[in-house]
Amino acid sequence: MSNEEKERMNNQECAVCDRMAVKKGYCSVHTKAFDSIILKYEYWRKALDVTWKEYLREIAENSLTGEWARQVAEHLARTEAEK
């Protein structure tokens, strides 16, 4: 996690935007996107045999993905890469 992300968490700001975090480090709209990403991964994994990293990349690159979901997918991919 970058210093900026740690600072946002301490200030209770969303990990993606400047809104107030309400759950899991995300604001209400990014929490909904996060929950959707988590829920749908199992379907994608079974249907397409993709890894978590591949799934996040597909979401981020898909032109039909909503902006909030794209932002969360990009954030998750970045934080996974830092591990």
pLDDT, tens digit (0-9, with 9 covering 90-100), for 25-56: 999 999 999 999 999 999 999 999 999 999 99
Output the pLDDT for position 14. 95
Quick one: average pLDDT of 1-27? 78
H helix intervals, 1-83: 3-10, 28-48, 52-61, 67-82
Output the pLDDT for position 1. 57
Q: Indicate the residue type of 30.
A: H
pTM of the model: 0.80
pLDDT at 75 over 80: yes
So where are the chain's domains?
A: 3-82
Q: Which bin fits 31, alpha (ψ -120 to 50), beta or left (φ > 0)?
A: alpha
Q: How confident is the model at residue 81 (pLDDT cuts 50, 70, 90)?
A: confident
DSSP state of 20: B
- Higher-confidence residue of 68 and 80: namely 68
